[in-house]
Amino acid sequence: MKVFLIAFVFVLLAVTACGSREVTRTDTDTVTDLSGYWNDTDARIVADSIVDQCLTGRWFDTRAVRGDSRVSDIPVIVVGGVRNQSTEHINVDVFMSEIERSLLNSGRFQIAAGGRERDEVRGERRDQSIFASPATAAEFGREVGADYVMTGTVNSIEDQEDDTRVIFYQVNIELIDVETALKVWMGSAEIKKVIEW
């Protein structure tokens, strides 16, 4: 019985020691690079860089010169698909949200819902037309049409020798006029990481 009790205590201690984990909350702006792969900081840095390039591009000042009656003071953009063509899994939805955030926070763009979000809004509008009172139901045919669609790709090149790995990321973004299908602006941002162990 005594041997059994001692063995049980050792097993309990071993399980407790192996299962201990420490979790620390940190500010979301803190740079945390554990593996060297693409992370939230990279998404934020690249999104801000892309939007800065977009704002300072020649297209922004010359768009009103065309005499296009559709052109408003604040262009409406749909952030469309950003394809991940890199060598790793990258959640492009997080990256697209960072771009939308940066565009909207600049105060110089309006963001129209696209894809799944637009479908959800349209579904809500259909439900309201059936179940909500006519005085409060949202009307059909009142959406604001987008002037531009923003699309792009995330690419990477990885190189490694011995205990050193280098990852180069290049994000290419294009802004396309919805009516003419002309590309009015193209930008890119790069990040290069050296990981040693």
Q: pLDDT band for position 3 (50/70/90)? A: low
Pull the structure tokens for residue 125: 């509008």
Residue 65 has pLDDT above 80, yes or no: no
Instruction: Output the average pLDDT for the chain.
Output: 87
Which domains does the chain carry? 38-63+70-196 (3.40.50.10610)
Place of tokens 């939805």: 93
Q: Are residues 152 and 117 in contact, defined by beta-carbon separation less than 8 angstroms?
A: no
Q: Residue 196 pairs with which residues in a beta bridge?
A: 164
Q: Are residues 88 and 38 in contact, defined by beta-carbon separation less than 8 angstroms?
A: yes
Three-class DSSP labels, 22-49? CCCCCCCCCCCCCCCCCCHHHHHHHHHH
Q: For the whole model, what pTM was predicted? A: 0.77
Q: What percent of the chain has pLDDT over 90?
A: 58
Q: Who wins on pLDDT, 7 or 190?
A: 190
